[in-house]
Amino acid sequence: MLPTYFDHNATTPLDEPVLQAMLPFFRERYGNASSRHEYGRVARKAVDDAREQVADMVGAHPSQVVFVSGGTEANNLLIKGAAARCQPSQIAVSAVEHPSVTKPAQGLREQGWKVRRLAVNAAGRLEIDDVEIALRESVTGLVSVMLANNETGVVQDVAAVAELARGVGAMVHTDAVQALGKMPVSFAALNVHAMTISAHKVYGPKGIGALVLDKRLDIKPQITGGEHEKGLRAGTENVPAIVGFGAACALAANRLTELPLKLQQMRERMEQGLRTMGVVLFGDGAERLANTSYFAIPGIDGETLVMALDRAGFAVASGSACSSGGTDPSPVLLAMGVERELARCAVRVSLGRDNEMSQIERFLQALQGEILGLKRLVAVEV
Ligand code: PLP
């Protein structure tokens, strides 16, 4: 039997209606959306419909949606593409961004850009004063601040950042990959110039995402070739994936009223249980995504606990999935001022729509057992 899945910030299972919507585009509706004949027209219509569904989900106009291969590509396209159209100045990114933002930002340094890291407090929240200082101190071309963090689930006040950035004429981008489907996300309300989203975090397929763009924004394409996506992203459209992304957004939009509430109730019960076990909860007290709990049991290595829980029938993560495999403590936790030793003990539980309260109860029991076992082991080793 497969373990109970508690790792929805890494990826989500494909929704059955999403799969059903995609299947015809693997079979009889296999046309290239650029072809002029009936096969092509069917594919083009499907892409247009999906673009509308994605735009509706984030309160944008369909013409603002650029389909790309996922969140990583959208972040790269925006940062490299926007920077290429400006004189080198300063890029300001929060200290807790995903590597698909921090690495392209570092790359700009070689082109003469100054990279300013915007500090977060102990709860993982951005200090707005720091943003103000950073924007005042040197000319800033671009500000990138994620809406919700993949590890802690902590939500940033992106609208406030956007107001400050616009005040100094800077472009503002937000990575909303984790927020989508877990809280309302509105491109217009956030007042940003660009936003990144990805399908596989909202029960859609992997390998498809979008950059939502202010129509006046001029960015340089990073993949050139044909005139797909208005020349911003060349390459034959992945029609089945785009259709799946659209279907997933339509379903996610309908679930937004009841899903966060259900997740919140399960998360609260879990954290109530965790507190009795003496865990340290990260991001506690800050506004967080309803599904995410990030904690450490001092003295028990996170990777070891993840493997023990896997054997006990629960799939959870240590740090973010994208950086696991390495033994370095999470940069997100270090940015929050967490000691390296404690950061190495971090474990993330991210709940999803199929989880039930009974699984939370079983998880707490299993965790209690594993903690006792591992503590005994640590004691013997010492
Ligand atoms: N941004 C954040 C906050 C993420 O959590 C992830 C994936 O984990 C990404 C970007 C990258 O998205 P993708 O997996 O679609 O490339």
Strands 171-175 and 114-118: unpaired
Task: Give the Å distance between the CA of 373 and the centre of ligand 1.
Answer: 34
Ligand 1 pocket test: pick from 93, 94, 98, 182 the residue with the most ligand atoms within 8 Å of its Cβ: 98
d(CA 186, CA 59): 5
What's residue 183's pLDDT?
97
Reported in sequence order, the residue ranges of the chain that DSSP labels E, i.e. its strands, are 4-5, 65-68, 90-94, 114-118, 140-144, 171-175, 194-198, 209-213, 280-282, 292-296, 314-315, 346-350
Task: Give the Å distance between the CA of 355 and the centre of ligand 1.
Answer: 22
d(CA 248, CA 167): 36
Task: Give the Å distance between the CA of 11 and the centre of ligand 1.
Answer: 9
| Residue ID of nearest Cα to ligand 1 atom 8 | 10
Tens of each residue's pLDDT in the chain, 382 residues: 899 999 999 999 999 999 999 999 999 999 999 999 999 999 999 999 999 999 999 999 999 999 999 999 999 999 999 999 998 899 999 999 999 999 999 999 999 999 999 999 999 999 898 899 989 888 999 999 999 999 999 999 999 999 999 999 999 999 999 999 999 999 999 999 999 999 999 999 999 999 999 999 999 999 999 999 999 999 999 999 999 999 999 999 999 999 999 999 999 999 999 999 989 999 999 999 999 999 999 999 999 999 999 999 999 999 744 444 556 899 999 999 999 999 999 999 999 999 999 999 999 999 999 887 887 777 666 5
Strands 4-5 and 280-282: unpaired
Q: 194-216 burial string, b = 16+ CB within 10 Å, else e? A: bbbbbbbbbbbbbbbbbbbbbee
What's residue 381's pLDDT?
65
The residue with tokens 């707005």 is 128
Burial of 298 per CB tally in 10 Å (0-12, 13-18, 19+): exposed
Q: Which residues pair with 321 in a beta bridge?
A: none
Give the pocket of ligand 1 (CB within 6 Å). Answer: 70-72, 98, 100, 146, 150, 175, 177-178, 198, 200, 209, 322
Burial of 366 per CB tally in 10 Å (0-12, 13-18, 19+): middle
Task: Give the Å distance between the CA of 234 and the centre of ligand 1.
Answer: 21
322 in active site: yes
Single pTM value for the model:
0.96
| Residue ID of nearest Cα to ligand 1 atom 5 | 150
Nearest partner of 152 among 197, 98, 101, 102, judged by Cα: 98
What's residue 382's pLDDT?
54
* Amino acid at the residue 340: R
